[in-house]
Structure 1
Amino acid sequence: MTMPEQKKAVVPRLRFPEFRNAGPWEVKRLGDMCDMQAGSFIKASEIRLVPEAGLNPCYGGNGLRGYTKSFTHIGRFPLIGRQGAYSGNVQLAQGRFHATEHAVVVTPKQSTNIDFLFFLLIRGELSRLATGQAQPGLSVASLNSVSIPFPALPEQQKIADCLSSLDELIELQAKKLEALKAHKKGLMQQLFPREGETTPRLRFPEFRDAGPWEVKRLGEVACEFSDGDWIESKDQSPDGIRLIQTGNIGLGKFIDNTEKARFISEETFERLSCSEVFPGDLLISRLPDPAGRCCLIPNIGKRMITAVDCTIVRFDLKQAHPYFCLSYCQTDQYFKEVAARSAGSTRTRISRQNLADVRVPLPTLPEQQKIADCLSSLDELIELQAKKLEALKAHKKGLMQQLFPQEIDL
């Protein structure tokens, strides 16, 4: 926004009742509302990755870099990333900390609420002000000259309180999600045998006397164990049979990037003699990151194939329960073995044959079913909590678009 635009009435679309007749926000130079100064250089050798007594947080342009003995500030300050891919990134630092030269420390003046300013800077999407192509950057001078609308201090406080409360709720829900994930990980460590052992530490009562588990090769418990197809750009079409790519395979979950979906026609499927993927198949990415990650394929309402760097595993249901095997293929023990069987100096990958030789510990089918039911119930809780968290983040984003004027877009 340029300075001549100050005469235009600037008001947000959503306003708290007590401020609806308070008049328009006033457009001011950012440099008139706060002081901005880049942090201080620190040697990489002086930064520790793990917190220790006597060390202070060290912030760069992209957030926390580590911990160091020195400090540049005490208090609560918004920080703006000023160099590289994270130019314009905004974070809030508090307490005693060291800000590096890649971060601009923002000190509000008397008529500016620090939390309001923090949210205002986020809403302003300062990255759009970065200059330079190879190494984009933001200068303090360019930030000072930005014109941005401000309300009176009481309205700033009201907006800051509202958004800070939402942030607290988001943080609480994020902690709940992490606690669920940690609980699942700890439970899996108990439900599957340790490396070199054949019985788990935790067993459901009805299986405590069922004897040791059997160890089999992954390829041994599948009735189909094959790679996907080599599909070139010229083979693709606007619609038809869905091509499942490595990017669709997450850590135990299917990532349906519909906007990046690729397809081939029925004719191409026949011409290339493609291998069809069916709902319930396990797809394993043989490429990082990490190699060996996998997911069970849901019913997406279309026929499917997959890329050549994915392995299709269709389990022999008389030997192996798909969800049980999916769960095992998320353990540290599984990924450790995949890494040991992988090759490549710059980009490691695992061959289909080596993947087939990965060992899978198997109890009887009833016990597999019991473990699968337990872990799938936990996964449902985790998914529900993740959706709740995303909904809160979306609500906050929408609220910020309403609480700040459209004219804040720089």
Structure 2
Amino acid sequence: MRQFENGLVPSLRFPGFVGEWKGKSIGTIAELTSSKRVYLSDYVEKGIPFYRGKEITELRQDIEPTEILYISEEAYYGYKESFGVPQLDDILMTAVGTLGNVLRIKNESPFYFKDGNLIWFRKISESSRFLEILLELKKKDIEKTSIGSTQRALTMVELRKLVFKFPFIEEQEKIGTFLSVVDDKLNLLRKKKSLLEQYKKAMMQKIFSQEVRFKDGGKDFGEWEEKTLGEIGKSFIGLTYSPDDVVESNGTLVLRSSNIQDGVLSFKDNVFVTMEISEKNFVKENDILICARNGSRDLIGKSALIKKENEGAAFGAFMTIYRSEFNDFLFHLFKSPIFLKQVNEHLGATINQITTKSLNGFVFPFPTKKEQTKIAQFLTALDDKIAHVSTQIEKMETWKKGLLADMFV
């Protein structure tokens, strides 16, 4: 962004566009309104989709909503005739709970939406695509206008007052078209990742239920044999430390549940300690780190495989390390429904934890070591493909973020 004597212009522009961007209030470039009240008694089993904030948030991410409510066609066309309904290039914004998520209407498929939960931008005099991008970019400014103490909410009154910078319409359309191409490529990558994840989930279900079996040079492997985790490996409880032991850096990294993200280790939320640590509280390559105790029941059982570069880290008291020679296979088994089923069966009634005794008592059917290796190699290859697409998405999102910073004021 460059400051000129008479205004602001972005540091990155398409050729042929000059001049400063003009400040305009939202209330002068769009009409802000909402829908008419739809009551519980108006819902029907099938008809016209009725969207709430949840569905709008999903649709903006190209996720097909699965829990859709419906109103009758008669009710929909009644609202359309009397009050109007969202049209192509109108914008909806979530206004309660999750604030500021925006969805531009990209087709003419009929739907209606919940009053109060969503704010409707219509009769937009600027480029709708440009406004959609601008509203996403200025989300923090939008959130600052919210009211309420327990549950924040956006109001049309305050939104109308917001002033943002706009170039001439031709430049808006150029920017919108270019960024639409970027978003299309991002969405293709996200869909690719989602399809890979769905395929892996389906294959895990089939593999661990033995519906799909691998071959040994064209021959069948032997029957799977039931064993407990305690028979084939050992569990270790994590390190207990106090707030006085925690330092900002230059200490020993302690792995906790927040370090496990989507089955891999993440280092965005780290804790370091300076204290004497027993050898058993350090992780080793191929250990499986498991969240065994936590305030959130949903986190119990999530796990990650320790790699060579992670050695030297300790693990916290809410975590358990499982160690055996079969961990390449078990790492994938621990992400399957049959593992999570046993986790849920052994959770305490009031305390969210899996005890070491319970974990060691988990029973699973085990294939031969050779078939384990084939299963682990197959599922690891899928993980690598998913990780590669995730990296592509992250790089493209970072690139887009840089573009937005340079293309807007």
TM-score (norm 2): 0.85
What secondary structure, in the 3-state scheme, does the structure 2 residue paired with 1:129 have? coil
Task: Say whether the 8 Å CA contact 2:286–2:328 is kept in structure 1.
Answer: no
1:246 to partner: Cα distance? 1.2
**Paired AA for residue 269 in structure 1:** I
2:279 is equivalent to residue 283 of structure 1: no
Quote the Cα distance in structure 2 between the aligned partners of 1:371 and 1:390: 29
Once the two structures are superposed, the pairs formed by residues 284-363 of structure 1 within 5 Å of their partners are 284-286=290-292, 287=294, 288-300=297-309, 303-315=312-324, 317=325, 320=326, 322-345=327-350, 348-363=352-367
Structure 2 gaps of 5+ residues are 59-66, 80-84
Q: Which residue of 2 aligns with 1:157?
A: 173
Task: Say whether the 8 Å CA contact 1:39–1:102 is kept in structure 2.
Answer: no
2:66 is equivalent to residue 67 of structure 1: no
**Paired AA for residue 56 in structure 1:** P
What secondary structure, in the 3-state scheme, does the structure 2 residue paired with 1:116 have? helix
**Paired AA for residue 100 in structure 2:** G
Q: Which residue of 2 aligns with 1:58?
A: 51
Q: Which residue of 1 aligns with 2:9?
A: 11
**Paired AA for residue 227 in structure 2:** K
Q: CA RMSD in A?
A: 2.6
2:119 is equivalent to residue 104 of structure 1: yes
Task: Say whether the 8 Å CA contact 1:246–1:285 is kept in structure 2.
Answer: yes
TM-score (norm 1): 0.84
What secondary structure, in the 3-state scheme, does the structure 2 residue paired with 1:96 have? coil
CA gap of 1:152–1:80, structure 2 versus 1, over 3 A, is same
Quote the Cα distance in structure 1 between the aligned partners of 2:255 and 2:49: 46
- 1:63-114: per-residue Cα shift (whole Å, max 9, x none)? 3573221556242322222233x232323345322222121101143x3111
Q: Which residue of 2 aligns with 1:141?
A: 157
Quote the Cα distance in structure 2 between the aligned partners of 1:301 and 1:219: 25
**Paired AA for residue 327 in structure 1:** H
**Paired AA for residue 81 in structure 1:** T
1:331 to partner: Cα distance? 0.9
- Choose the corresponding residue for 1:228, options 238, 259, 266: 238
- 1:283-327: per-residue Cα shift (whole Å, max 9, x none)? 111243242111111234662221122111111x2xx2x121111
Percent identical among aligned pairs is 26
1:131 to partner: Cα distance? 3.2
What secondary structure, in the 3-state scheme, does the structure 1 residue paired with 2:68 have? strand
Aligned length: 378
2:281 is equivalent to residue 268 of structure 1: no
- 1:209-261: per-residue Cα shift (whole Å, max 9, x none)? 32201111112211x3121122221222333211111111234322222xx31
**Paired AA for residue 375 in structure 1:** L
Once the two structures are superposed, the pairs formed by residues 66-105 of structure 1 within 5 Å of their partners are 66-69=68-71, 71=76, 73-76=85-88, 77-84=90-97, 86-94=98-106, 95-100=109-114, 101-105=116-120
Quote the Cα distance in structure 1 between the aligned partners of 2:35 and 2:381: 48
**Paired AA for residue 137 in structure 1:** A
Q: Which residue of 1 aligns with 2:61?
A: none
- 1:124-182: per-residue Cα shift (whole Å, max 9, x none)? 12112223332322221111111111111111111111111111111111111111112
Structure 1 gaps of 5+ residues are 406-410
- 1:382-408: per-residue Cα shift (whole Å, max 9, x none)? 100111112222222221122111xxx
**Paired AA for residue 328 in structure 1:** L
4+ runs deviating over 4 angstroms: 5-8, 43-48
What secondary structure, in the 3-state scheme, does the structure 1 residue paired with 2:264 have? coil
| Worse-superposed segment, 58-67 or 285-294 | 58-67
Quote the Cα distance in structure 2 between the aligned partners of 1:53 and 1:18: 51
2:148 is equivalent to residue 132 of structure 1: yes
Quote the Cα distance in structure 2 between the aligned partners of 1:228 and 1:207: 44
1:53 to partner: Cα distance? 4.5
**Paired AA for residue 89 in structure 1:** N
| Worse-superposed segment, 243-252 or 153-162 | 243-252
Once the two structures are superposed, the pairs formed by residues 191-210 of structure 1 within 5 Å of their partners are 191-192=207-208, 194=209, 199-206=210-217, 208-210=219-221
**Paired AA for residue 93 in structure 2:** I
Q: Which residue of 2 aligns with 1:114?
A: 128
| Worse-superposed segment, 206-215 or 393-402 | 206-215
2:228 is equivalent to residue 217 of structure 1: yes
1:27 to partner: Cα distance? 1.1
Q: Which residue of 2 aligns with 1:408?
A: none
Q: Which residue of 2 aligns with 1:402?
A: 406
| Worse-superposed segment, 39-48 or 97-106 | 39-48
Quote the Cα distance in structure 1 between the aligned partners of 2:48 and 2:219: 49
**Paired AA for residue 25 in structure 1:** W
2:367 is equivalent to residue 373 of structure 1: no
| Worse-superposed segment, 92-101 or 26-35 | 92-101
